[in-house]
Amino acid sequence: VLPDVPEILKGLSEVGLTSLQSGMDNVRNPVGNPLAGIDPHEIVDTRPYTNLLSQFITANARGNTAFTNLPRKWNVCVVGSHDLYEHPHINDLAYMPATKKGRFGFNLLVGGFFSPKRCADAIPLDAWIPADDVLPVCQAVLEAYRDLGTRGNRQKTRMMWLIDELGIEQFRAEVVKRMPQQELERSSSEDLVQKQWERRDYLGVHPQKQEGFSFVGIHIPVGRVQADDMDELARLADEYGSGELRLTVEQNIIIPNVENSRLEALLKEPLLRDRFSPEPPILMKGLVACTGNQFCGQAIIETKARALKVTEDVGRLVSVTQPVRMHWTGCPNSCGQVQVADIGFMGCMTRDENGNVCEGADVFLGGRIGSDCHLGEVYKKRVPCKDLVPLVAEILVNHFGGVPREREEEAED
């Protein structure tokens, strides 16, 4: 395999993909709306902005050495929908669509992050920029963080720690100093993101803004895709769509630009009738899991297979009428983002009833995404993994309107 790596990287580069800055203390890939350009309800097509940011951050895939040695990792997103599919409140910099005196632009949020030491929602920078300043303000924020951020204790080096140290107004002033014109307008009250908006489920078949076309959201169980699966997904995208596959932060895939006349044939494809269903069981819809200790050296527990097994077993015990977002992370770094899940599981080691060391999880409850974003809190600590099924079933009944299957069957009789 190793001799093939140069050709693999070359092939990825030719289609606009790069592994540059996908780890360590630098900027991760900018995130936009997975429905950009096809969503009938979108506020703005985020692709021009995320592409611009990607080109800047990676110097057009050559590597931008100005931002490859930050105090810690740094995340950025551009919001394009009322649904906040981009998760702006947990990004270091988030662009929120807003107008000001008839001009389109963005209000800015800063400082969102997860870490073992602390988790924090992003907060307003009290700044609005015209759309043309998306790149300059990103550069200014990055330079302020690079130049002033703490580089000692790695548990206190994310950008929010710098904001806390300086205060939001002083941090804002440091950003202003680094803007081309050394000015930054105050935030706009004309926020374009609707606060009272029920987040839409993108799984399944949905009409696009382009007449006669639909997109198909496909559920990828815990985000695990094998090479053969990718070949088949690529074939489906070529045969039924425009050759495009879109990834979501919930580890699912969207096939856009499917002619309505081809939908029936696409939905009959074996891959979509088997593992990668557009209409998965309701508890599977919101399931997310990090890599886990099978492939990640930092993970404490196995996550992906366990997440599937626990969810399947719970589904046999309890019936729910609405999706419940369940996220798994193998360690406190929270790559699985358990704090924004309805129910979250953070891997740990614990002891069973006989005192034997075993894999376990801290269980979180009450996380929310969207305009009323709220970080979940620990519900129960150090639960042995073998005891999670009855606990989750109990949580679903007590907090999410779940009905025990046996009671449901009695009611039907």
**333 assigned to some structural domain:** yes
| pLDDT on residue 323 | 92
Per-residue tokens: 351 = 């002891």
Kindly report the CATH number assigned to the domain that includes residue 324.
Answer: 3.30.413.10
Residues 276, 226 share a domain = yes
Q: What is the mean pLDDT of residues 219-232?
A: 97
Residues 244, 112 share a domain = no
If one counts every other C-beta atom within 10 angstroms of the C-beta of residue 247, the result is 14
Q: How far is CA 285 from the centre of its chain?
A: 14
Q: What is the mean pLDDT of residues 261-276?
A: 97
| pLDDT on residue 75 | 97
Q: What is the mean pLDDT of residues 20-42?
A: 92
pLDDT greater than 80 at residue 21: no
The domain of 289 spans 284-404
| pLDDT on residue 378 | 97
pLDDT band with cut points at 50, 70 and 90 for residue 19: confident
| pLDDT on residue 410 | 62
Residues 178, 216 share a domain = no
Q: Considering the chain, what is the average pLDDT of its residues? A: 95
pLDDT band with cut points at 50, 70 and 90 for residue 13: confident
DSSP letters along 272-310, please? Answer: HHTTS-SS--TTTTTEEE---TTT-TT-SS--HHHHHHH
Contact 216, 266 (CB under 8 A): yes
Residues 288, 276 share a domain = no
The whole-angstrom separation of Cα 289 and Cα 291 is 7
Domain count, the chain: 3
Residues 178, 56 share a domain = yes
pTM of the entire predicted model: 0.94
Residues 275, 288 share a domain = no
Contact 275, 221 (CB under 8 A): yes
Handedness of CA 354, 358, 362, 363 (dihedral sign): negative
pLDDT greater than 80 at residue 23: no
CA distance to 125, 167, 361, 373, per residue, from 161 (Å): 15, 10, 27, 20
pLDDT greater than 70 at residue 413: no
pLDDT greater than 70 at residue 344: yes
| pLDDT on residue 412 | 63
Residues 24, 158 share a domain = yes
**347 assigned to some structural domain:** yes
Contact 27, 20 (CB under 8 A): no
| pLDDT on residue 62 | 84
pLDDT band with cut points at 50, 70 and 90 for residue 61: confident
**199 assigned to some structural domain:** no
Kindly report the CATH number assigned to the domain that includes residue 218.
Answer: 3.30.70.3340
Residues 298, 273 share a domain = no
Residues 265, 362 share a domain = no
Q: What is the mean pLDDT of residues 127-132?
A: 98
The whole-angstrom separation of Cα 245 and Cα 237 is 7
Q: Which of 280, 312, 337 is the last residue of a domain?
A: 280
Q: Which of 253, 280, 307 is the last residue of a domain?
A: 280
Contact 101, 146 (CB under 8 A): no
| pLDDT on residue 15 | 84
**126 assigned to some structural domain:** yes
Task: Give the tens place of pLDDT for each residue, 359-399.
Answer: 999 999 999 887 788 899 999 999 999 999 999 999 999 99
Residues 298, 225 share a domain = no
Task: Give the tens place of pLDDT for each residue, 131-164.
Answer: 999 999 999 999 999 999 999 899 999 999 999 9
| pLDDT on residue 17 | 84
**139 assigned to some structural domain:** yes
**65 assigned to some structural domain:** yes
Phi, psi of 255 (to 5 degrees): -100, 110
Greatest alpha-carbon span in the chain? 73
Per-residue tokens: 114 = 């997860």
Q: Which residue did the predictor score with more confidence, 198 or 46? A: 46
**66 assigned to some structural domain:** yes
**189 assigned to some structural domain:** no
If one counts every other C-beta atom within 10 angstroms of the C-beta of residue 271, the result is 15
Residues 172, 107 share a domain = yes
Task: Give the tens place of pLDDT for each residue, 189-222.
Answer: 999 999 889 899 999 999 999 999 999 999 999 9
| pLDDT on residue 411 | 63
Q: Which of 133, 151, 182 is the last residue of a domain?
A: 182
Residues 121, 58 share a domain = yes
